[in-house]
Structure 1
Amino acid sequence: MTAGIPIQTAAHLEQWHLESLKIDQAHQISTGVGITVAVLDSGVDSHRDLQPALLPGISLLDGAATSGQSDEQGHGTAIAGLIAASGGTDGASGIAPGSKILPIKILDAQGRGSTDNTAKGIRWATSHGAKIINISTASGPNIEVRKAIEEAIAADVVIVASSGNKPTHNVIAFPAYIDSVVAVGATGRDGAIADISTSGEKLDLAAPGVDLLSTWTGQTYQPGTGTSASAAIVSGVAALVWSRYPELSAAEVVHRMTATAVDKGAPGRDPEYGFGIVDPVAALTANVPPLETEPAAEPTATAQAAPVPNTMGRTAVILIAVIGSLIGVALVIALAVARPRNRAEP
């Protein structure tokens, strides 16, 4: 998320996205109370507008044994503010000001980090009560990050990630392109997809992401642009929905957002808007049929495999074990030689 010049007060600046999303109306129904959102980023500064929401987190950077409540870069503080700031008319307001922020510091002052720490951060968030994990970063594909995401999804966690910004990303970035992750693109004031927003078939939702005012380091504020901001908006909406409907599963929370999104572009899901622009009020109030689950097919006599002789079974196990070991060695070497690094989405 690219940011402008820090300002001392936000009171005189328009947070246009709040009006566009009818957040005042949404807050009459839900403010996100009871929901913890983990922010994997550059840490979160203890800004006055964030203090009611900020929980002790963790820094995964080498030699930085802190609670994640420091931010030398600013990106994480901005993301947290878009989700949960509660400054009201005298400061910045977030989408879910009743929610809690769990800061997990994985990026340094230059906005750089490792995929190792991304995977560790996802696992730490999952084991420390996060219901939603916001990942407004991108990196090269990584098997440990993918495994950590699979574990989080199995633990009933919603994961939201930014789709990436052009021209840095011309296709949906990792980890946003993973099917179980909610990939989010950016729209402007006019509701059209932003020029910087990366598109692709894996896109799930779009949300405001141009000139969004948020909290910044040093008790200041900054407007910023990027799909990072859009992901934060969707994380906030997910918190509103889950607080309103605590009985829902993570998949049902996502389903409520995609089923009620404002369809834009080509009818139905499309590469620019996904299912559409997220609509907090509709996600909170619409009559949304539950997700349909397909029953497992009953095995039939013709579908059952014939028994395999024991000798063949032993050979297969040995071959699989050897191949698996070789793959493991190759991965370890590849990661050690050229470990992908994360960057904060501009």
Structure 2
Amino acid sequence: MNILTNKFKFVFGLISAFLIIFNPPCFAFTAVNDDDYDSLIVKTKRASRLMYKYTGHGYKKIKDSTYLIPLSKNDTAKTKEQKIAALRQSGIFDLVEPDYKLVLDQEETERIYTQIVRHAENDNNLTDAGDIISFDLPKEVTPNDKDFAAQYYLKEVNAPQAWGITVGSALLVGVLDTGVDVNHPDLNGKVSSGTDTNDVDLNDSIGHGTEVSGIIAANTNNHQGIAGVSWNTKVLSLKITDDLGQARVSNVVSALDQAYQKGARIVHISLSTNQFSQTLKDAIKQAHDRGILIISTAGNSGIEELRYPAAFDGVIGVGAVDETKQKEFYSTTGEHVSLVAPGTSIYTTSINFTYDKVTGTSFAAPQVSGAAALVWSIAPKLTNDEVRNILSSSADDLGVPGKDQQYGYGLLNIEKAVEMAKAFK
């Protein structure tokens, strides 16, 4: 044990002089560089108790046996590689890798209006969202939300036809993002918050998480705003970014644990990276093995490349198409694309009681998360893999026959998916 202790002291003494946390500027919509990280993730072998002793030096515990080691702001790509090599050669760790950055897969945002939207309780004509399943539903449902006509994408994926079968249950969807504006009238009463994973305010100052959440589960049939894909679904907001929109692998890992602990059945991640991370892969696998369905963006690089976490086993990776069902120029292609959905000019909730038109695979993927919630509302005993298979099998094939790298299994068809789920009730 003394030898091991001395080895720990040597290795971490070597790095401790450089333990100054650095937060570089966030380029949220650019590619991730190989050296674009400011911390290392390490997984200990037998030395977890020793590692605990050294957390006072700035080492942060992410989960059991996994820690975050900050690097110096003066580190270059070369010195980062040298430190990684030294830690790997120490023999103390099972894993040493960079804490890579994930980027928001958003192309552009168009603010539609900025006037204050009235809260539901101030309008006697508004329908309580909790009562929306108390009436008999026709084959196709057109909700009374004032801006529903602006949501062309819901018709493209046959959401109104699906609502004639189900409008969802109170299933919990974990949204790993920039936070959510819990005071927005179209999200009021829908959102609970997890513990912050990035030491910043839990509220959404950017808008991305609020936009994503509105697509999934906005209050619907309430005479205002928009309709969500799954009317009764609840959102667990897990803020993984700072106020510049910057997230790291370590933030995702912590949030996945929280999502499980709080009972989320679906986890939605509208961020991605082109850097493979074993730590992220292990965390995604653990969440999948716990029964969680993970849905993520295919990415906005516009080229053929793998994006993570979409490329990991069991994850539904979602690309974007336009109104003519053609792949959008920005939508990343590759084996990780499972499905596509409309991704351009998506009208949804935003911060400060506003609504935006937003573009990117970030806003195609939430349609799939809402669809998964509707499928589970029909057949709650389905496994996460069974829900994933239903969504894939029910998609409208696009491009070359069968699964391909541009469209995956095809365009999301929510009506077909919920019809298929009825066989598993």
Name the structure 1 match of 2:155.
Answer: 19
Map 1:36-51 to 2 at 5 A.
Answer: 36-46=172-182, 47-51=184-188
Whether the aligned pair in 2 keeps the contact of 1:73 and 1:108 (CA below 8 Å) is: no
Shift of 1:179: 2.1
In the alignment of these two chains, the number of paired residues is 285
Could you tell me which amino acid in structure 2 is paired with residue 148 of structure 1? A
Q: Deviations over 1:280-302 (max 9, x none)?
A: 00001137988xxxxxxxxxxxx
Letter of the 2:386 counterpart: E
Distance 2:391 2:421 in 1: 12
**What are the residue-to-residue correspondences of 1:99-118 with 2, within 5 Å?**
99-118=233-252
2:205 maps to which residue? 72
1:120 aligns with one of 220, 245, 254: 254
How much has 1:170 moved relative to structure 2?
A: 4.1
Give the counterpart of 2:229 among 95, 100, 107. Answer: 95
1:123 deviation in Å? 1.3
Q: Which of the numbers 275, 283, 286 marks the counterpart of 1:151?
A: 286
Question: Structure 1: where are the runs of 5+ without partners?
Answer: 291-346
Deviation of 1:87 (Å): 4.5
Aligned to 2:171: 35
1:185–1:230 Cα contact (<8 Å) kept: yes
Structure 1 residues 73 and 287: alpha-carbon distance in aligned structure 2, compared to 1, 3 A threshold: closer
Give the structure 2 partner of residue 61 of structure 1.
198
Give me the whole-angstrom Cα distance separating, in 2, the residues matched to 1:276 and 1:91. Answer: 29
Q: Report the counterpart of residue 7 of structure 1 in structure 2.
A: 113
- Give me the identity figure in percent: 33
TM-score w.r.t. the length of structure 1 is 0.78
Q: Structure 1 counterpart of 2:385, which letter?
A: A
State how far apart, in whole Å, the 2-side matches of 1:184 and 1:85 are: 20
Give the drift of 1:94. Answer: 1.2
Q: Are the counterparts in 2 of residues 256 and 288 from structure 1 also a CA contact under 8 Å?
A: no
Question: Radius of gyration: which is bigger?
Answer: 2
1:271 matched to 2:377? The reply is no
**Where do 1:284-323 residues align within 5 Å?**
284-286=418-420
User: For the Cα contact (< 8 Å) 1:54–1:103, is it kept in 2?
Assistant: yes
Contact 2:265 2:292 (C-alpha < 8 Å) held by counterparts: yes
Provide the rounded CA distance (Å) in 1 between the counterparts of 2:421 and 2:166: 16
Are the aligned partners of 1:5 and 1:222 in contact in 2 as well (CA < 8 Å)? Answer: yes
Q: CA deviation at 1:174?
A: 1.1
Q: CA RMSD in A?
A: 1.9
How much does 1:213 deviate? 0.5
One-letter code aligned to 2:179: G
Q: Secondary structure in 1 aligned to 2:357?
A: strand
Distance (whole Å) between structure 2 residues aligned to residue 249 and residue 87 of structure 1: 27
Q: Hey, what's the Cα distance between the residues in 2 that align with 1:131 and 1:284? A: 17
> Residue 28 of structure 1: CA displacement?
2.2
Query: SS in structure 2 opposite 1:125?
Result: helix
Q: 2:280 aligns to what SS in structure 1?
A: helix
The superposition leaves residues 178-198 of structure 1 with CA deviations (integer Å, 9 ceiling, x where unpaired) of 122111100111111111111
Q: Which residue of 2 aligns with 1:177?
A: 311
Q: Which deviations, in whole Å up to 9, do the C-alpha atoms of 1:272-318 show, x marking residues without a partner?
A: 1100111000001137988xxxxxxxxxxxxxxxxxxxxxxxxxxxx
Map 1:251-266 onto structure 2 (within 5 A).
251-266=385-400
In the alignment, structure 1 residue 165 sits paired with structure 2 residue 271 = no
Change (3 A) 1:29 1:288: closer
2:217 alignment partner, one of 84, 97, 103: 84
**1:259 and 1:288 in contact (8 A); partners too:** no
Q: 2:347 aligns with which of 206, 213, 222?
A: 213
Runs of 4+ in 1 over 6 A off after TM superposition: 287-290
Give the Cα–Cα distance (whole angstroms) in 2 for the partners of residues 157 and 236 of structure 1: 14
C-alpha distance after superposition, 1:243-268 (max 9, x if no partner): 11111111000111001100010000
2:276 is the alignment partner of 1:141: yes
Give me the whole-angstrom Cα distance separating, in 2, the residues matched to 1:190 and 1:52: 35
Once residues 253 and 375 of structure 2 are traced to their aligned partners in structure 1, the CA distance between those partners, rounded to angstroms, is 26
Change (3 A) 1:243 1:87: closer
Distance apart, 1:55 and its partner CA:
1.7
Q: Which runs of 5 or more structure 2 residues have no equivalent in the other structure?
A: 1-105, 118-144
Please state whether the residue corresponding to 1:26 is helix, strand or coil. helix
